[in-house]
Amino acid sequence: MKESRALNPASDARRGLLERGRRTLPRSIRRARRRSVALILAALFSFAGVPSGWAQSAPPGEYQLKAAFLFNFAKFIDWPPASFASPQSPFTFCILGADPFGRAMDDALQGKTIGDRAVAIERSKDLVDARHCQMVFVSSSEKRRVPEILNGLRGTNVLVVGESDGFAAAGGVIQFALEDNHVRFLINTDAADRGIGA
């Protein structure tokens, strides 16, 4: 007997993206992929980067949550030393394109560290500027440039996160999505398996 369910093309497409490589990859790669996904999930549940004042005030907005997610993603990844120009270099979050965060990113990351590195935030529209960052958030204003951006960051130690529809399917590692007024994310495990900056 077949189970009936409502069709949701968007979630079916995301499910296909997440399930695609599982059937054909060797067990060691599937195990490594599960560890990567588990680390990202642990980041989500920890919310150590969420300011404590949120518990006493209005619920956080979309970009406050996204800023907290980005910080937690960064905390749970082992960043190779080659990701940084020097041992004293800060961990740099770059926002590529129009900045949708406003002060939310600055407020969430103020005084934070990743490992023993101070956190810096840079905003740019120039892809060349983003190549030295450890994490790049690609704003939805750059939707038309996503293939160019992903190609330009290929081979770097940059974790590329976006929010445009189809970002993960195009090769981005993490895509934020809003579903029922909740911030969700998709992980392109193929891009994650290729390494940061795929």
Domain boundaries, the chain: 10-194
Q: Please report where in the chains the tokens 């990351």 appear, as a residue.
A: 109
**pTM for this entry:** 0.72
Q: Please report where in the chains the tokens 């005030």 appear, as a residue.
A: 57
Cβ partners under 8 Å of residue 173, min gap 6: 159, 160, 161, 187, 188, 191, 192, 196, 198
- CATH, domain 10-194, list 3.40.50, 3.40.140, 3.30.200, 3.90.25: 3.40.50
Is there a contact between 93 and 74 (Cβ–Cβ < 8 Å)?
yes
The series of mean pLDDT values per 10 residues for the chain, 198 residues long, is 44 47 45 50 46 56 95 92 92 97 95 95 94 96 96 91 96 94 92 67
Is there a contact between 25 and 19 (Cβ–Cβ < 8 Å)?
no
What pLDDT score does 196 carry?
54
What angle do helix axes 27-46 and 62-75 make, rounded to 10 degrees? 130
What pLDDT score does 28 carry?
45
Please give the biggest Cα pair distance in the chain: 61
Tokens of 82: 């080659």
What pLDDT score does 40 carry?
53
DSSP type of residue 99: -
What pLDDT score does 156 carry?
87
- In sequence order, the β-bridge partners of residue 175 are 162, 186
